[in-house]
Structure 1
């Protein structure tokens, strides 16, 4: 895609997201996932972008107690270009208490009728999740119009360099087949194909050793 004329890329940096930026991070990720097959299948069409933003606000609250959990690429004047959520080794799964407390908010995202499907998807992905200690990347997104310019890869390379330094692998699930080459260039490889239950789309687990 062509460069967005109002967002200069020179001089942007990678840093931890500030708590006050949670809404902006959620909105950015919602825009980035607007055409994501899994989100389109799980989230009702009515106000899908708003519902998806709610989901990513919830995801940040669940991630934020963990060190280095929410990272962004941002210009010096605070404009967010990309965002990534990370979970460190042994921290990828939220507790049953956290999940129970979040149920009303999940219902606002998926709708009451969509909650069983969301639960089945979560269980399926949990079953496929590797047991080996690793860094987990549940979500990463780049602002519309900036894909292909290196912002997303720069954001991820910072944590991946830390993984290399510590000798830790990394794991993600690609929900869009077109994103697989992007992750392969960062050293990930596809380990399986997971078909989501109920006739859902395919998800590709990817591992970086």
Structure 2
């Protein structure tokens, strides 16, 4: 796929392993004070929370999203990463070895309690996903100081265009992010709590896939039940 060029200042491309540290740093900074991350880093300063999130994100990008989905980055001509989106491909799930790796990172940087909170949260969210094939947007974030440049919107367009006829699903962690997704065609499915013992909501949202292109060689009749 050729790079998507939404503006002269940056382009969207697929990340490589070399991009992982910078991509993780952007996402860690963007989510350090996000409600969804507070389940794991509550009470920490922004810099401390970002420091704890960074190694976890490096693991999940390397061992899951690069292999079982797509890591899209918005980068400048000089290679600076301005934004990142982590997409899980349809019918994919996180492997047990990857979950084990994440558990070790969580214990090392956030304590054993974070492992159980993470696993409970992931199991709960997995049960809320649509049962049909869909692309799952796990995370999208932009670097500090780049808000308002259209980076997040460009990453969203790139991902939904790639999905084509396949639906997309995500959990929005704030009303503002839910409004952004709604502008890009995502429909709210309702609010849920991140875990059973917190009042922090997430907003399940999905975007229907594009209508299949009509085969010009096919007839013009339609299929319907009944006579």
Give the TM-score of the pair, scaled to structure 2: 0.81
- 72-81 vs 45-54, greater mean Cα deviation: 45-54
Q: Note the C-alpha offset of 1:109.
A: 4.0
Looking at structure 2, the residues matched to 126 and 162 of structure 1 have their Cα atoms a distance apart, in angstroms, of: 22
Quick check: 2:60–2:98 contact (8 Å CA) kept in 1? no
Q: Name the residue aligned to 1:139.
A: 139
Unaligned runs of 5+ in 1: 1-8
Q: Name the residue aligned to 1:176.
A: 174
Looking at structure 1, the residues matched to 8 and 32 of structure 2 have their Cα atoms a distance apart, in angstroms, of: 26
> Based on CA coordinates, which of the two structures has the bigger radius of gyration?
2
Q: Note the C-alpha offset of 1:114.
A: 2.4
Q: Name the residue aligned to 2:52.
A: 51
Secondary structure of the corresponding residue to residue 70 of structure 1: strand
Show structure 1 runs of 4+ deviating over 3 A: none
Matches within 5 A, 1:17-56: 17-44=15-42, 45=44, 47-56=48-57
Can you list the C-alpha shifts for 1:3-41, whole angstroms capped at 9, x where unaligned? Answer: xxxxxx733111011211111100000111122012023
Looking at structure 2, the residues matched to 98 and 55 of structure 1 have their Cα atoms a distance apart, in angstroms, of: 11
Quick check: 1:66–1:87 contact (8 Å CA) kept in 2? yes
The number of residues matched between the two structures is 197
Q: What is the alpha-carbon root mean square deviation over aligned residues?
A: 1.7
Unaligned runs of 5+ in 2: 1-6, 209-227
Matches within 5 A, 1:188-207: 188-195=186-193, 196-207=195-206
Ranked by relative contact order (alpha carbons within 8 Å, sequence separation 6 or more), the top structure is 1
Q: Note the C-alpha offset of 1:200.
A: 4.2
